[in-house]
Amino acid sequence: MGAGGTGAGRADWVAGLAGVEDVARAVSACRACPRLVAWREEVAREKRAAYRSQDYWGRGVPGFGDPKARILIVGLAPAAHGANRTGRMFTGDRSGDWLYAALHRAGLASQPTSTARDDGLELHDVYVTAAVRCAPPANKPNPEERESCRPFLEREIELLVDVGVIVALGGFGFSQVLRVWRERGGSVPRPAPKFGHGAEVALGTTGDGPGPVTLLASYHPSQQNTFTGTLTEPMFDAIWSRALELVSAS
């Protein structure tokens, strides 16, 4: 069974991956969702004019960062001309500009910019991933695609045993983390927690992987949010300050 399989067999195969590097390789090779595969490859062929001379990644985008991270960041999905081009999460687009600048201010990134996989960026105490690993049309994965990708996130969470805080960037990532936690047998407050910037949710210990963990919600650093002032730099900086407070207290 390979990364392109489906159903329970594929989930079992992903669950057997031994390390985050193995998950990364499986994500890069995955062809499980026909609509996403077709779109990511179409974008990689046609390209944006500004990047015409570049070779697009055009595959599933793996997570990356510090394997001993205490903070896990979960976004929505790769941007068509961002991570789908560069092959690294939140790299080469405006959302990434905001994210890595904020992580650098917080002492969690070695530099404030992220332009390419080989640009020298190193993350300290942070691992970055997403709920869906292929760029979706209109930035909207469907429920089947979300569920097809869920085993990758589950396995990363199980392997990143030092994580004490999960920062969800946007409501999609927030909901997916809660879904993953329930699937792993962990306790989630009832009624279902609601997404909101700065919301905190205590997630109980599961049978494997990290726990207990605090789920911390942030507005996504999308242009829609940052251009309109829905998310400001002080608001975003407060998220990382709070994340560091939480892991330091655990």
Does the structure show a pLDDT above 50 at 113?
yes
Bridge partners of residue 185, in order along the sequence: none
CA distance 156 to 163: 10
Q: Which of 11-15, 110-114, 126-130 has the lowest mean pLDDT?
A: 11-15
Are 50 and 21 a contacting pair, CB within 8 Å?
Answer: no
Domains of the chain: 7-249 (3.40.470.10)
The 10s digit of each residue's pLDDT in 187-235 is 888 888 999 999 999 998 766 667 689 999 999 999 999 999 999 999 9
Taking only the tens place, the pLDDT of each residue in 142-155 is 999 999 999 999 99
The pLDDT, as a whole number, for residue 2 is 46
Q: Are 157 and 114 in contact (CB under 8 A)?
A: no
**Which uninterrupted H or E stretch holds 223?**
helix 223-228
Residue 8 has what pLDDT? Answer: 64
Q: What residues contact residue 115 under an 8 Å CB cut-off, 6+ apart?
A: 86, 91, 92
Instruction: Tell which residue, 161, 168, 176, has the closest CA to residue 196.
Output: 168
Beta partners for residue 64, in sequence order:
128
| pLDDT exceeds cutoff 90 at 97 | yes
CA distances from 116 to 36, 57, 78, 98, 137 (A): 22, 11, 14, 15, 22
**Across residues 153-169, what is the average pLDDT?**
96
